[in-house]
Structure 1
Amino acid sequence: MSSTAPPDRPPPAVCASSDDEAVAWDDPQELARFTQLVPSEDARVSTAHSVLVIEGMHCAACSVNIEQALMRVPGVLEADVNPASRRARILWDPDRVRASRIAQAVAEAGYRAYPALSVQAEADRRREQRLALWRLFVAGFCMMQVMMYAVPTYGVSPSGSEDMSSDIWRLLQWASWLLSIPVLLFSAGPFLQGAWRDLRARRIGMDVPVALGIVVTFIASTGATFDPGGLFGEEVYFDSLTMFVFFLLGGRYLVLRSHGATAGALESLMQRLPETVERETPQGTLETLPVSRLQVGDRVRVRAGQAFPADGRIEAGTVWVDEALLTGESTPVERGPGQCVVAGSFNLSAPTWVRVERVGQDTRYAQIVELMQRAATDRPPFVQAVDRIAAPFLWAVLAAAALCALAWVFIDPSRSVWVAVAVLIVTCPCALSLATPSALLSAAGYLARRGVLVQRLQALEALARARVFVFDKTGTLTEDRLALQRCEPLSTELSAEQALGRAATLAQASLHPVSRALVEAFGSSERLTELSDVKELAGSGLEGVDAQGRCWRLGTLGHVLGPGGQVAHEATDGLPSGPQAWLGVNGHVVARFELTEQVRPDARAAIAALRAEGLETILLSGDRPEAAEALARALGMDRWYGGAGPEDKLTVVRAAQGRGLQVAMVGDGVNDGPVLAQADVSLAMGQGAALARAQADFTLMSGRLGDVVEAWSLARRTVGIIRQNLAWAAAYNATGIPLAAIGWMPPWLAGLGMAASSVLVIANAWRLTRPQGAVGRAVPPGVAPAASLGP
């Protein structure tokens, strides 16, 4: 999980202000917290995949600048920075560059990087929120005081009147000037610092026009205060200055809080492992060590209230476990000796002993974290396109402000500066850049709490367009756990126990529900016989070679028979309707296994809900046609296909796509990998094979089919919210720019409009975090609740 520089290569430059900080970045154990090594096609070479949190990034132009700075570092292969989540996903070559050099590149660009999920990142987020609140308070307090001094001067000429002398008028202006200084130097600091950072790097960001407007307003008003009648006239706009700084900070603070809530929810789900764990030593004593030092086979004690540090099996004690991270359900489940527990779930009741089976990146928890990190850093192509045009758009804003200022020199020179300032502020494209990512991240966060993990944010838009839903059968529409009902030997050479032992030997290499049922039925793995070259053939079964060179096969009848194979016994009539598997050796069938399966409790309600929305449902199964038909009819599906291999499933999906329909595929097995990749959008059951999860756009950790309907309904709402956000952003700019250009929108109103547009976009996206009960509304009258449905 870590990378170090070869000894014959000089170390790269350090990243920050001290050598200690560079050492911390490159320390192998620290690096493993935010970096994963990804093997390439050449097994001897690996690339590093890191996720960083960026401090000081507020807009799309910032993300483009950071990406460009990272891509200039030799050894950085890819860089993707998401301004909405403030996360950067970087792919780099550990043989050419160190993590400290990557952090240095971010620092040189004017920002600061922290390892994702680190204590420093969390502390920085909280510090930034507190500082933003203080800036907002100072701006609000000074704004109220300045307005108190400005209101009496409205309608009074600088030469004074019978109600106010010119000296009092000047005194009020000087007081406003004094109160505007802390607003300029402290409250407006983020805008000025961001603009200076961009200009120093010879680039332009969204802070540049805002800072330019603030500085120009202050300089012009200062000139009018101390040199009345001079170049800047006699009118001052300290009230407008303090007001639009307050409005801008108010909008930025609300956006910061929404980002913080999203990041906090993400980190609360991902920071669930304990820092240390109690492990039993060979002498029978307990030692405390970091979780990163756990190994497979260790026996650890988990106290009540602690999270399980790794995947394993309980060896002693019965406990209640909170598995909300995996299922989205807060209801605890009971786990006893021999049952599995997963890293990140909580022990709620009593101390227990666990034998570790998977650690580090091999745990399901690590896979969940990887999926959520990928979603947090993912940017759909449309968002990337908007971000790329941010800088050219800002140059156009500066040009438009200059032209308006020039035009007003001939119309009314006293208003030229203020019109230019209003144009600079009102045209800032913050709302446009936030319109899509804010909605997608809100939807992904809600689904994550439901137990549905989004791997690619753009898949939400694809899911919203889906009109055909294709389901696998075993492990998807039915429970992922099967039970062996009958083992029937078809040869006198093997007893039932021997046949089951051979089948379990092959089945232990597979995660298919049938394979797991056979392994569990046989019991202890110590009694399994030895087979070599065991491999799984997608859609068919498994095969391996014993010590005598005989080829054993487990799976479908056609797979077991092979070309020219035959059944060794005539007891094949009257086949059961449930799942079954066959065992054979050298093309001769020697045993048949009958299994029982149960339809998922919410399968019928989910299919009914989809059909009520006018969607087409199809069952694709490698099981026998009669079994597939029986299940499809029981669930009320539109069409079904049994005995389908991977190529057959691809044909069905391509045929639906050929009709111009968007296809969503729901599956769980190795044989579903190709069809999941072919579908327009794919959903994999969280308990299924790793290949299926890797190919899928969504992972249903909950195992609830009702969440398929929930995800589709939310995806449609998300697309609607995105369209509303984009329409508002476009309407705001289309209305605000002409009003500012003709002088009908003062700078303070432009600041209010800019802040309000960003806040409205964020608030509109936040509506996606509230449950809508989509499944319940979609189920037509007369359909029983999911909990009461039988098979």
Structure 2
Amino acid sequence: MPATTLTLAAPALALPPTELSGRQRVALDDDTALAACTTWQEAADGRREARTRLVLQGLHCAACAGLIEAALERVDGVRAARVNGASERAEVDWDPARTRASALIEAVQRAGYQAYLADAEDALRARQAESRQALWRLFVAAFCMMQVMMAAAPGYFAAPGDIAPDLAALLRWSAWVLTLPVLLFSARPFFSGAWQSLRQRRIGMDVPVALGIAVTFVASSAASFDPGGIFGHEVYFDSLTMFVCFLLAGRWLEARSRERSTRSLDALLRRLPDSVERLAADGSVAWVPAARLAAGDRVRVAVGQAFPADGCLIEGRTQADESLLTGESRPLVRGVGDAVIAGSLNLGAPVLMRVTQVGHGTRHQQIVALMQRALTERPSTVRWADRVAAPFVGGVLLLAAAAFGVWMHVDPSRAVWVAVSILIVTCPCALSLAAPSALIAATGALARRGVLVQRLDALETLAQIDVACFDKTGTLTEDRLALAQVVWPDGDDLQAWQRRAAALAAHSRHPLSQALVRATPSEDAASWPWHGAREQAGQGLEALDADGRRWRLGSAAWVGVVPPTDLARPAVWLAPQDGTAAPPHARFEFDEVLRPDTAGLLQSLREQGIRLRLLSGDRAGAVQAVAQRLGLADARHDATPQDKLASLRALQRQGHRVLMVGDGLNDGPVLAQADVSVALGHGAALAQQRADIVVLGSRLGEIAHARGVARRCAAVVRQNLAWAAGYNAVCVPLALLGWLPPWAAGLGMALSSLVVVGNALRLAR
């Protein structure tokens, strides 16, 4: 290897710095640097609180997440810390009056890891550097393993006495020398991880691995230089280098797999451009950082570039890819006056936009905040695996010590490698990866379809629901009405009545008037002239026709007719005002417009055996009409937010797991109470904040798809846990009996983790 390469790799052997320089502290504590990864909010006592997101580096197992959480929570001023080992992200709530962001970074570094502000370029560069370093460690281990195997091969194939003692000693010493780079460089992550665990008085998963490597090296070194000593003459340098190589290969492949799982999420979080072309008032153009944009700025967006903020087009026509933000797979046409959203891609042609919203007010940043929350969640299955892992590792150490003692009486020459095999083969990495790898893969797959999971626990619960409750208006139905039926005088022309009504309705913005206009061809409505049109609030419209005759369009009382007693749908009437007791009139009845995939969603849930319930605050007639169209037997009308909450709690007291789907401001309490809650992307901000899952494109069909993914995710987690348990149940007895050499133990451990991660990646398709 060239000397320059060794010089570059040497700093990696040093421990991570635990203190930041003064310049680094100033940069980290600057509000501008914190803006992209910190949310500021006011506490109940009026003080300002911060929630900062960090990207972590150096995590190798689930126990690392617990170590980092403990280190952060010991910082004075930190209220809570949440670390997700699978996504290598942390979220920290802290008091700016008592600590600074730089103190959080230093706390992580003192724990033996690295931390960076989320969305910072340093985090991306650090991840790339870590990947390169891991590859170098693997290369050194693999290269030295092959050389050690060449030195060990004569001892395997030669008959007793064929190799001279001095030559045999030379082969052992050369193997010892070739093992040193593996021990000092390649195996360093295991030793540093074990040291950090023990320093914090915890038994991490690196402890048995480091102990096995150290014992193997010490015993083999003693056998090399003193063949007649207590360790005998057998050396295990080939086994040591082989299982270090296998373990590093497994970790590297596992890291690549986890990166694939979170790639779509990172693509969303890093969608905005770094700099943009801003047009000044005098027409000059200057490149400025996207963070410096303000409402009212004019920005030129090139083809292939992401829109840097929310805004509207003021010049040009293009197509926008909003798939990562709304779930809409097809590019959407956008012209002058149309809205564009931050993070969507310009695919058609260069355009000029005017910025209307920047920073945390953009839809992109709201989505990023939702996803960051999910990436730092540790669901119950993960917390259970973490709790099990620690005593499991302690039991492994005791088991290895007991096995060593027994084999010292049975066959001392095999005692060392039997103990080492137990230490290596029983590492519970597969157990700890079983749930988080599956949940992150499932979350990434849903995010690509515009379904954002804010709480990873929700995926576990979604697979278990047996009752689904729905709000009506804006959830199962769209926020508009459609003309359903027209009743007109016998012998008259229907089209004439409808043209006359639509032309008059065009003078109002009332929802029923607009629905009538939409249902009538524009050329028909424009062909009927009205004069002196005026609107009476809460009543309707009146105007004069070409002959000076007065007409009214609106409620039955306003028009002067008697409505049918059995009328359930909203309606408006049109009649002339000529003083007669029963003027000829037409009645226009309207229905709510069901979302295109409403019926499909409900049918899918019925087929899965889920009980359906409609909870609406609307009047009885409207609710029953929608329930009848959808075949919902259980429908409640005139329900206040308190009524909805009481209904949900009653179901939960009966032992049901309840899904709630809503979109309105009044759905906030019931969304928070449900076992799993879903809000639609067009809904109120409060509903989205309280919901566990947000469907960006407001496509109800995605709810059924999400439940399908949740059920597959639950199955994969069960498979992974069963595999981890079965693997240990088979391999531990083999190691105890002395039938599993250390190199095979290392291979088994690496393959076990890879099987778990590979199985989870099926969810990402």
TM tier, shorter chain? 0.7 to 0.9
SS in 2 for 1:703: coil
89-98 vs 734-743, which moves further: 734-743
TM alignment of 1:639-658, pairs within 5 A: 639-658=634-653
Question: For residue 41 of structure 1, what is the aligned residue in structure 2?
Answer: 44
Deviation at 1:595, TM superposition (A): 7.0
1:77, distance to aligned residue in structure 2 (A): 0.4
Counterpart of 1:410 in structure 2 is 409
- Residue 773 of structure 1: aligned partner: none
C-alpha distance in 2, partners of 1:122/1:364? 24
Q: 1:135 aligns with which of 133, 137, 140?
A: 137
Pick the aligned partner of 1:79 from 73, 81, 99: 81
User: How far 1:117 moved relative to its partner?
Assistant: 2.1
Which residues of 2 match residues 736-751 of structure 1 at below 5 A?
Answer: 736-751=731-746
CA–CA separation in structure 1 for the residues paired with 2:652 and 2:333: 44
User: CA shift at 1:177, angstroms?
Assistant: 2.3
Deviation at 1:51, TM superposition (A): 0.8
CA distance in 2, matches of 1:679, 1:63: 29
> Does the 8 Å contact 1:576/1:594 carry over to 2?
no
1:18 paired to 2:8: no
Q: Distance in 2 between matches of 1:515 and 1:75?
A: 58
Structure 1 match to 2:714: 719
Residue matched to 1:607: 602
Name 1:103's counterpart in structure 2: 105
Equivalent positions of 1:226-241 (< 5 A) are 226-241=225-240
- CA shift, 1:101, in A, is 1.0
Query: Residues 403, 368 of structure 1: CA spacing in aligned structure 2 closer, same or farther, 3 A cutoff?
Result: same
Distance 1:80-1:573 versus aligned 2 partners, 3 A rule:
same
**For residues 480 and 725 of structure 1, do their structure 2 counterparts lie closer, same or farther at Cα, with a shift above 3 Å needed?**
farther
Which secondary structure does the structure 1 equivalent of 2:129 belong to?
helix
- In structure 2, do the counterparts of structure 1 residues 471 and 146 end up closer, same or farther at CA, with 3 Å as the change threshold? same
Identify the residue that residue 668 of structure 2 maps to in structure 1: 673
Secondary structure of the residue aligned to 1:598 is strand
2:125 match: 123
Offset of residue 666 of structure 1:
1.3
Q: Which runs of structure 2 are paired with 1:119-268 in the superposition (5 Å)?
A: 119-154=121-156, 160-161=160-161, 163-268=162-267
Matches within 5 A, 1:292-371: 292-371=291-370
Deviation at 1:597, TM superposition (A): 4.6
Whichever residue aligns with residue 300 of structure 1, its letter is V
Inter-partner Cα distance in structure 2 for 1:98 and 1:553 = 57
CA contact (8 A) 1:15 1:102 kept: no
Residue 277 of structure 1 deviates from its aligned partner by 2.8
Structure-2 separation of matches of 1:420 and 1:467: 49
Q: Secondary structure at the match of 2:41?
A: strand
CA offset at residue 273 of structure 1?
Answer: 1.1
Aligned to 1:563: none
Partner of 2:90: 88
Q: Which residue of 2 aligns with 1:729?
A: 724
Quote the offset at 1:445 in angstroms.
0.7
Structure 1 letter corresponding to 2:734? L
Displacement after TM superposition at 1:571 (Å): 6.1
Measured against aligned partners, the alpha-carbon deviations of 1:102-121 in whole angstroms (never above 9, x if no partner) come to 11111111111111122111
* Match 1:622 to one of 617, 623, 626: 617
Q: CA, structure 1 residues 317+645, in 2 after alignment: closer, same or farther (shift >3 Å)?
A: farther
Q: Deviations for 1:171-201, whole angstroms, at most 9, x for unmatched residues?
A: 3323322322222222212112222333455
Partners of 2:513 and 2:423 lie apart in 1 by 66
| 2:30 counterpart (27, 31, 46) | 27
1:435/1:725 contact within 8 Å kept: yes
Q: In structure 2, what is the Cα distance between the partners aligned to 1:112 and 1:517?
A: 59
- Residue 516 and residue 346 in structure 1: after superposition, are their counterparts in 2 closer, same or farther (change >3 A)? farther
The yes-or-no answer on 1:420 pairing with 2:416 is: no
Encode CA deviations 1:18-61: one digit per residue, 9 max, x unaligned.
2111111011111111111122234x322101110111111222
CA deviations on 1:286-332 (whole Å, 9 max, x unpaired) are 44332222223333332332212222222333321110112223310
- How far off its partner does 1:373 sit? 0.7
Structure 1 CA distance for aligned equivalents of residues 360 and 115 of structure 2: 23
Any idea what the Cα deviations from partners look like across 1:114-163, whole Å, max 9, x if unmatched?
11122111111122122212222222233233333333322757xx33x4
CA displacement at 1:205 relative to structure 2: 2.1
Displacement after TM superposition at 1:380 (Å):
1.2
CA contact (8 A) 2:389 2:428 kept: yes
Cα distance per residue 1:317-375 (max 9 Å; x no partner):
33211101122233101122332221111121123333332221111111110111111
Cα drift, residue 553 of structure 1: 9.7
CA displacement 1:602-627 (0-9 Å, x = unmatched): 22222222222222222333333333
- Whichever residue aligns with residue 40 of structure 2, its letter is L
In structure 2, runs of 5+ residues without a counterpart are 1-16, 486-503, 520-536, 540-555, 573-586
Q: Which letter does structure 1 place at the counterpart of 2:290?
A: V
**Aligned partner of residue 57 in structure 1, secondary structure:** coil
Determine the structure 1 residue equivalent to 2:280: 281
Task: Give the letter aligned to residue 341 of structure 2.
Answer: V
Note if contact 1:469-1:665 (Cα within 8 Å) is conserved in structure 2: yes
1: CA distance between counterparts of 2:190 and 2:164? 37
Alpha carbons of structure 1 residues 484 and 630: separation in structure 2 relative to 1, 3 Å: closer
| 1:543-578 Cα distance to aligned partner (Å, 9 max, x none) | xxxxxxxxx999xxxxxxxxxxx9878668359866
| Farther off after superposition, 269-278 or 644-653 | 644-653
Name the counterpart of 1:692.
Answer: 687
Equivalent residue of 2:81, what SS? strand
CA distance in 2, matches of 1:600, 1:156: 78
Aligned to 2:705: 710
Q: 1:21 to 1:572 in 2, by over 3 A?
A: farther
1:434 equivalent in structure 2: 433
Which of 750, 755, 759 is the aligned partner of 1:755?
750
Matching residue of 1:786: none
Higher mean alpha-carbon deviation, 169-178 vs 81-90, is at: 169-178
Once residues 183 and 614 of structure 1 are traced to their aligned partners in structure 2, the CA distance between those partners, rounded to angstroms, is 57
**Count of residue correspondences:** 683
Deviations for 1:658-699, whole angstroms, at most 9, x for unmatched residues? 442211111111122222122211111111111111111100
Task: Give the 3 Å change call, closer, same or farther, for CA 741–276 of structure 1 in structure 2.
Answer: same
Aligned residues: CA RMSD? 3.2
Which of 744, 764, 768 in structure 1 is aligned with 2:763? 768
Single out whichever of 324-333 and 758-767 deviates more from structure 2: 324-333
SS at match of 2:35: helix
What one-letter code is carried by the residue in structure 1 that aligns with 2:29?
D
- Residue identity (%): 55
Look up the equivalent residue of 2:596 and give its one-letter code: P
> Could you tell me whether the CA contact under 8 Å between 1:443 and 1:714 is conserved in 2?
yes
Write the distance in 2 (CA, Å) between the matches of 1:517 and 1:569: 19
TM-score, structure 2 length as denominator?
0.83
Amino acid at match of 1:148: M
CA distance in 2, matches of 1:57, 1:278: 39
Classify 1:188/1:152 alpha carbon distance in 2 versus 1 (closer, same or farther; 3 Å).
same
2:466 aligns with: 467
The counterpart of 1:573, out of the listed 558, 563, 568, is: 563
Counterpart of 1:144, as a letter, is: M
Question: 2:190 is aligned with what amino acid?
Answer: F
How many angstroms apart in 2 are the aligned matches of 1:636 and 1:472?
A: 15
CA contact (8 A) 1:481 1:597 kept: yes
Residues 148, 408 of structure 1: alpha-carbon distance in 2 compared, 3 angstrom cutoff: same
Are 2:618 and 2:638, in contact at CA under 8 Å, matched by a contact in 1? yes
Which amino acid is the alignment partner of residue 460 of structure 2?
E
